[in-house]
Structure 1
Amino acid sequence: MANIHFSEEGKHAETPLKKANYKSFVIWIGIVVVLGVGLFIWAPWSSGLYNKYEISKQMSVTERGESAGVLNKAAELYNAGDYTAARKIMQREYMSNPQDPLLSYYFSITLIKNSQEHEARTVLKKLYEGESAFKYDAAYYVALSYIKQDNKKEALIWLSKIPQGTPNYQKAKELSGKL
């Protein structure tokens, strides 16, 4: 046993077994570092900020008249998660009535869901600049559209436009802290 671990002069000798253990240790450290860096870059816990903080899960329509049936169909599709079909219906309606804040709001969300964030922001900014009940919801969704595109700087600017006392203020504050 002593011959394996010590040389003839009584000094500690480096055996093939010790070299193998050292190499294994270095390989394992390398794997851990690569996995750590990979998780940091991928960051699955932060990629869902848009989904975690979105507010309009369901579309409800209170319209009356000719467009009520069309909007009910759009709401049905929206609530079923078919945002592409809902966007097509809402786009036609929006083109004929761009002043309708409810339609503008939900139409812009379908645009975001269909990765048309720039177009959605155009609609949302008009809502924000007006006197609609959706004014600060629009600002919140502009911020979320930037988050979806990983533009934290612009998202923070829009989150800061949501004043205290509004329904989305707490979410905006919490989301700002996470960015």
Structure 2
Amino acid sequence: MTPEEKFELFDRFCSNELSAAEEKMLTKLISEDVAVAEEFKLYQELNSHLDTRFTSEKEEEALGDALKVIGDAHFNKKATTKETKVIRMPVWAYAAAASVAIIFGVYFFGQSNPVYNDFANIPELSITERGNIEKNSKNAEHAFNSKNYAGAEKYLLILLSKDENNAEYQFYYGLSLLEQDKYVETTQVLEKLYQGNSGYKYKALWFEALNQLKQKKYDQCATLLENIPEDAEDYTRAQELLKKM
């Protein structure tokens, strides 16, 4: 039985059009194959959803076009349509496309990409805890930890003007820029760090990946994540993010 025939059988069941022989065949299929049973359950839910969801032919056509791309790729041919005022896919084709989407981990009614706020965990700045009592250090720490990133940027720049190679100042300066959506400047700062050998090397790489994620540059983000080694603090989170992309 082809996938088309199977979903047409599902469709006829929901339309109360099955003959006794067809109903017996469907019952046998469901009882003997767990995958078919799951597809049948999905189809029934989808059929019910389509009956209540669409308020206009335009909405149905839009979803049909989206699902048709998935269905065509799976079956390697276009689903049969009826010639009406608006070209529409038969309901079984929606279900077939939906089952293919589920196989590939795609959420049927709208795939969502990971977002920056789900992964960004900004570390606190703690300069003064190590005995540095310089006024600008205190101000930088207070501004950053209060999420006044514009103020933190200003004070960290002052600190960097006196100690330009301080990796800690550079890292938190980069985070201040990132939180202000200053993407290009963020890359310039963090790239210098992760290409170096300081203790902030892989933290900078992780946050530069998040910088790309924030801009929805998923390919660039993935490339950076793949370079985070297993012994890095953010490796587990990096792998989690990769799986969601």
What is the TM-score of this pair, normalised by structure 1? 0.72
Instruction: Find 1:27's aligned residue among 43, 55, 59.
Output: 55
CA contact (8 A) 2:136 2:158 kept: no
Residue identity in the other structure for 2:242: S
1:92 to partner: Cα distance: 2.2
Instruction: Find 2:231's aligned residue among 165, 168, 171.
Output: 165
Measured against aligned partners, the alpha-carbon deviations of 1:46-75 in whole angstroms (never above 9, x if no partner) come to 46x212211324222145456x33122111
Question: 1:48-127 to 2 correspondence within 5 Å?
Answer: 49-61=115-127, 62=129, 64-65=131-132, 68-127=134-193
Identical pairs, percent: 23
Q: Secondary structure at the match of 1:27?
A: coil
Q: Kindly report the root-mean-square deviation, in angstroms, between the aligned alpha carbons of the 2 structures.
A: 2.8
Q: Secondary structure at the match of 2:151?
A: helix
Measured against aligned partners, the alpha-carbon deviations of 1:121-158 in whole angstroms (never above 9, x if no partner) come to 11111111221111100000110000011101111111
- Paired with 1:33 and 1:85, the residues of 2 have a C-alpha distance of 51
- Paired with 2:54 and 2:121, the residues of 1 have a C-alpha distance of 48
Q: Which residue of 2 aligns with 1:135?
A: 201
Task: Give the total of aligned pairs.
Answer: 150
- Paired with 2:54 and 2:142, the residues of 1 have a C-alpha distance of 57
1:177 to partner: Cα distance: 0.9
Residue ranges of structure 1 left out of the alignment (5+ in a row):
1-23
Q: 1:32 to 1:107 in 2, by over 3 A?
A: farther
- Paired with 1:114 and 1:91, the residues of 2 have a C-alpha distance of 15
Residue identity in the other structure for 1:27: T
Structure 2 residue 174 is the aligned partner of structure 1 residue 146: no
Q: 1:55 to 1:33 in 2, by over 3 A?
A: farther
Instruction: Find 1:155's aligned residue among 218, 221, 239.
Output: 221
- Paired with 2:138 and 2:54, the residues of 1 have a C-alpha distance of 62
Q: 1:46 to 1:60 in 2, by over 3 A?
A: farther
